[in-house]
Amino acid sequence: MIRKNISVDEILTQFNNRSKLSSLISKYVQLSPRGNSFVGKCPFHNEKTPSFNVNDDKGLFYCFGCKVGGNAITFISKYKNLSFSESIKFLADMLGIEISYENKEQLKKKNNKLFVYKLINDFFKKSLEKNKNALNYANLRIKNKQLISDFEIGFCPDDNELINFLKSEGLSIEEIQETDLLIKNRKNQFFGRFKDRLIFPIFSFSNKVVGFGGREINENSRIKYINSQESQIFKKSELLFGFKQNSEVIRKEKKIILVEGYMDVISLAQSEIRFAVASLGTTLSKTQIQKMWNYSDTPLICFDGDDAGRKSSKNIALKCLEFLVPGKSFKFIKLPEGFDPDTFLKKYSKKKFFELMQSSYNLSDLVWQIILESIDKPTPENIALLDQKIKLLSSKISNRIVSDEYFKFFIKKKNDYLWNLNLKKKKTVHTTEKVQELINEKLVLVFLIFEIELTRHFNEEVSEAILGNKDLNSFKDALFKRNIIEKKKIDLDYLVNNTEYSKQILAEIESLNKTHLKGLNIEEKRVLLRHILDNLKIPILKKEAAVIKKKILEAEDDEKQSAQVNKYNEILKEIKIIQNKELE
């Protein structure tokens, strides 16, 4: 039977990734924040003035009174009076930490690989300085030279140079193969995984190099980025690229932005935004979620402004529901179509990016959007489906308090959605009635824009026509002047892009052209315009008839009254002719 040993560093790393020391100790000691630390009365000796300090950044506690200090294991061991192994088991049971047990051979191999990766990282950095092409590429993409040093960017030369270096450090061929830097091809030959690529070292939360990312610089490969493959030390789900370099600002500002790739992190750093990290993929693990929550109550997600980026954001939104607790959430930055953080900052500014941050979406709003997108139309069956989705996604949240609040939030959203649908229907009916009332007026505008030559044959009638709506009448007069008198031929595109006329009216005019004029021959259009102009006379004639009627009633002279009656009858006759007239 192989004797198992526990890596204390690994246990503490997992604990610090998933929790805070202050969260653990506050279960037993009343702590108060003071600067970047917490203070309280020491549980290991009696004192009146608090001298017990807890530092989450370092994962350590210390009492300035009795001089007792240590880490999470030390605290549990001393406070609970437990042995080392019992303390570890207590932590595992209480926090759900999966403790990794490794035999001595595995531990040795792991530590050797970490040591070798440090050597390789130094070699890559020196190789960048020697390779003019790679250095030019790095300087072109990364204007701030200090960032090349901060992120320890390097270059992987050809296979022979890499192998010779590793041999010079005492590695055998078998050990070189285990570094994951060489890949076997179909001919069973080895070639460099990162050959001729810009290298980004990837650090663990313990600040040890555990893997590499390589960026193609000669555009000879169809694969732009390559990462180390999953291994004993390289586990993407437990890493955040850029955390090592940006951790100081992240801790100070309590902000963190998750982006997709290395260059996004570095591009943000070039714009002096030093609180970005990358997940080395488009998903998030529980470890990564909780690590970010350790430093910010509401981290921001900023993925690319394309279909893949939006899909990944939605997947993350659904993924993190399970882990929500009071006071912890995420917000989502929406980039314009086709942009990533790197290209956005190159075209726009840091100020514009901060504006996007300010207008970011709440997690709850994005999840509601996902729910709403699951139905096509608000039929009774689909409304029932909404209810099912609301129950399902709310129930995914483990914390009962947060789950209940999300359920109430979604129900309110659903009720608001249905209310707005009904309101929209009422507005649509009202708008349709309004359009029908003004259809003749708008058709005159259609002729003035789309049928200019035909309209010239009705110059006098169009000029004298008075539209019932003042805005439409002013629009008619302006079009008549530009298109008929001045012959400038102002079309719809010009009106949309260069005038302040209502976009809704212009859209209705375009629609009326398609529904009423399209398919008619020139004679049919002529008859239609004549009919429209005649109909526009009716309100004017009725108004004139009302005035004459009043004069008839007020007339004192029979002769004058008779003349007014004749006028009145003539107007009524004209109105009747227009109303009874059919299209020729």
| Cβ atoms of residues 446 and 452 within 8 Å | no
Whether 374 has a pLDDT exceeding 90, the answer reads: no
Q: What is the DSSP pairing of strand 331-332 with strand 5-6?
A: unpaired
Going from the C-alpha of 549 to that of each of 468, 557, 569, the distances in angstroms are: 22, 15, 10
Phi, psi of 261 (to 5 degrees): -130, 175
Q: Note the pLDDT tens digit of each residue in 91-144.
A: 877 766 666 555 556 656 667 888 889 999 999 999 999 999 999 999 988 989
Q: Is the pLDDT of residue 316 over 70?
A: yes
Distance CA 94, CA 407 (A): 28
| Distance in angstroms (rounded) separating the CA atoms of residues 163 and 171 | 9
Between residues 148 and 506, which one has the greater pLDDT?
A: 148
State pLDDT tens for residues 17-55: 777 899 889 989 999 988 878 999 999 999 889 999 999
The more confident residue out of 147 and 382 is: 147
Model pLDDT, residue 433: 42
**Does the pLDDT at position 273 exceed 80?**
yes
- Predicted local confidence at residue 328, as pLDDT: 94
- Protein fold of 104-234: DNA primase DNAg catalytic core, N-terminal domain (3.90.980)
Q: How confident is the model at residue 579 (pLDDT cuts 50, 70, 90)?
A: low
| Location of structure tokens 């050809």 | 158
Q: Is the pLDDT of residue 283 over 70?
A: yes
Residues 295, 310: contact at Cβ < 8 Å? Answer: no
pLDDT of residue 439: 81
In terms of C-beta density within 10 A (0-12 exposed, 13-18 middle, 19 or more buried), how is residue 169 classed?
Answer: middle
* pLDDT at residue 107 in the model: 57
As a whole number, mean pLDDT of residues 202-215 equals 91
Tens-place pLDDT, residues 375-392 = 888 888 888 889 999 999
pLDDT at 6 over 50: no
Calpha distance 200→335 (Å, rounded):
25
SS3 at position 69: strand
Higher pLDDT, 466 or 196: 196
| C-alpha–C-alpha distance, residues 491 and 501, integer Å | 13
Q: Which of 480, 476, 485, 470 is nearest to 442 (CA)?
A: 476
**Beta-carbon count within 10 A of 119 CB:** 15
Q: Give the integer Cα–Cα distance in Å for 45 and 62.
A: 13
Residue of 394, 502, 393 lying closest to 445 (CA atoms): 502
Q: What's the CATH superfamily of 5-101? A: Zinc finger, CHC2-typedomain (3.90.580.10)
Is 50 exceeded by the pLDDT of residue 251?
yes
CATH level 3 topology of 243-372? Dna Topoisomerase Vi A Subunit; Chain: A, domain 2 (3.40.1360)
Q: If you count them, how many residues does the chain have?
A: 584
Q: What is the mean pLDDT of residues 537-549?
A: 82
pLDDT of residue 245: 94
Nearest-angstrom CA–CA distance, 578 and 582: 8
Give the per-residue pLDDT at 347. 87
**526 near 457, Cβ under 8 Å?**
yes
pLDDT, residue 56, reads 86
199-213, 250-264, 550-564: segment of lowest average pLDDT: 550-564
Confidence check: pLDDT of 567 > 80: yes
Residues 6 or more apart in contact with residue 194 via CB below 8 angstroms = 156, 181, 212, 214, 226
For residue 240, which amino acid is it?
Answer: L
Q: Which residue has the higher pLDDT, 351 or 103?
A: 351
pLDDT at 282 over 60: yes
- Which residues are CB-contacts of 267 (< 8 A; sequence separation ≥ 6)? 341, 342, 345, 346
- Give the orientation angle of helix 363-372 with respect to helix 307-319, to 10 degrees: 110
Interatomic CA distance for residues 323 and 396, integer angstroms: 9
At 103 the pLDDT is 56
pLDDT value of position 482: 86
CB within 8 A of 348, min separation 6: which ones? Answer: none
Q: What value does the mean pLDDT of the chain take? A: 84
> Each residue of 108-117: pLDDT tens digit?
666 788 888 9
Looking at residue 100, what is its pLDDT? 58
Q: Which amino acid is at 185?
A: N
Strand order in the sheet with 32-34: 32-34, 37-40, 52-55, 60-63, 69-70
Nearest to 321 by CA among 411, 415, 392: 392
**Side chain identity at residue 199, one-letter code:** I
With tokens 């609301």, the residue in question is 390
Q: Between 394 and 569, whose confidence is greater?
A: 394
DSSP state of 100: P
- Extract the tokens encoding 544: 């004139």
* pLDDT value for 95: 64
Residue of 584 and 281 predicted with greater confidence = 281
- Paired with 300 in beta bridges are 257, 331
Query: What value does the mean pLDDT take over residues 212-219?
Result: 88
Instruction: Give the pair of three-digit tokens for residue 190.
Output: 């080895």
Three-state secondary-structure class, residue 387? helix
List the structure tokens of 495.
């009106």
Residue pair 31/54 in contact (Cβ under 8 Å)? The answer is yes
Q: Tell me what pLDDT residue 108 has.
A: 63
Query: What mean pLDDT comes out for the span 490-497?
Result: 79
- C-alpha 371/C-alpha 584 separation (Å) is 55
User: How high is the pLDDT of residue 106?
Assistant: 61
Mean pLDDT, range 461-472, rounded to an integer: 84
Q: What is the mean pLDDT of residues 166-179?
A: 84
